[in-house]
A and B are shown apart, each in its own frame.
Chain A
Amino acid sequence: MNYGRELLKGNTDSLLLCLISSQPTYGYQIVKELEKRSNGYFQFKEGTLYPALHRLERERLIEGKWQILPNGQQRRYYYITERGRHVLVSKLATWQDFSTAVQAVIQPETA
């Protein structure tokens, strides 16, 4: 089992909600942004993003809207919902507590 991959899998929702909350965005841009912000650390199979987006939308945490580009191409932009914001705040708080606790255990002097 790849530990890093498992960690990413467990935190996909938080990462996606966090990115979408900063600005409405679309699938391909999300992949690029995740890669950029994590300095290339997060490189997941691109296709796995879409089932996650569908799941978040079904849970009404995000909302997808089609936009037509000047070249006629359509893009589905995702917006965070009020419910999504609440969930994100709660997830980030949990993550912060978890991270602090882990830090305190592995490096007691810096906690």
Chain B
Amino acid sequence: MTSSASHYLNRFRAYLRIDQTIRDDAAEEIYGHLEDKTQELEENGLSREEAGKMAAQSLGSPELIAQQIYETHAQGSWTEAFFSALPHFLAAFLFASYYYWHNIIGLSIILALTVGIAVYGWHRGKPIWLFPWLGYYLMPVVVTGILLLSLPQGWGWMAALIYIPLALFVFVYIVRQTARRDWLYASLMLAPMAVMFGWFLSVGAGNELLANDMWLGRLQAKMPWIVASFIALAGATIGFIRLKPRRHKILSLLTPPVVVLLSVALASRGNIDLWGWLILLFSLSAFAIPVWMQARAYQ
């Protein structure tokens, strides 16, 4: 391979953020084209390096080709959009039904459905619609860490010292694995966590989370806002799946944190303690960092 071809393919690969199998195939195909063209130009009397350079030039901008190929594959079907948004609709339904009916049967059905769909998605080669579901599965890992802080004095910190590094390892590992495929998928995955985490922490911190009556009462008071934020998240997810240009996808993903921040601020009327705000901002930044990294990569 000539240095021009190698440089061209590196640029092409770096810019084409799609499923690795499709990316490898596309790069291999472009490589074949470069080789054929180089060979033809060599037969016309050019040196290998010159021919390689001209072959790369005749193909045009690798970024433009990558962008056009990305847009071809970026738009998910309506079915994918539905499955991606479904966990958010279920979360909204769950909160709404608990508020009105305290529906434990509904909760059990939703949990069974959630696990069933995740298992199905996992065995279907981890399609894009699985990522929002994965975000909900990470929730127990994080919430357990917070609840550990509520154990009796001394025990809580000891448990946290053991648990938090383990939980962080799991969290970082999953985020990195997801981001390898595409940074935006990591944000898609973390979006529900940012929303849910923010809401729970806006109603109480530390020991208050175990004092049922207090935080449950506050949570119920904010329920319409919570339901609205999950519906907004579902809408943003549908937008993310259906939109073609990457910029529009990023914009769509940025909507939920803005909605959550506004909702939390409006619903609490500014009555959130410092701890709550810090955790809220932390969870939102965990969600926003992949979007920001992607935006930088895009520039």
Contact = CB atoms under 8 A, between A and B. Distances in A.
Contacts of A75: 32
Contacts of B65: 47-48, 50-51
Contacts of B35: 73
A62 to B, nearest CB: 13
Given A28-B36, A76-B32, A55 B72 contact: yes
A45 B60 contact: yes
Interface residues on B, range: 20 to 34
Interface in A73-106: 73-76
B147 to A, nearest CB: 46
B33 interface: yes
B59 A54 contact: no
A35 to B, nearest CB: 12
Q: Classify the secondary structure of B's interface with A.
A: helix
A48 B67 CA distance: 11
A58 B58 CA distance: 25
Interface stretch (B23-31, B162-170, B181-189): B23-31
Residue of A26, A27, A54, A74 ringed by the most chain B CB atoms within 10 A: A54
A46 B28 contact: no
Contact of A46 (B25, B33, B72): B33
Contacts, number: 55
Main secondary structure of the interface of A (DSSP, over half): helix
Nearest to B30: A50
B32 A46 contact: no
Contacts of A76: 25, 28-29, 32
Nearest to A31: B33
B37 interface: yes
B61 interface: yes
Contacts of B25: 64, 66, 76
Contacts of A46: 33, 37, 58-60
Contacts of A64: 25
Nearest to A49: B33
A48 B68 contact: yes
Interface in A44-73: 45-48, 50-51, 54-55, 58, 64, 66, 73
Given A46-B60, A73-B32, A76-B25, 12 more contacts: A28-B33, A28-B36, A46-B37, A47-B59, A47-B62, A50-B65, A51-B65, A55-B72, A58-B72, A58-B73, A74-B28, A75-B32
Interface of B: 25-26, 28-30, 32-33, 35-37, 58-62, 64-65, 68-69, 71-73
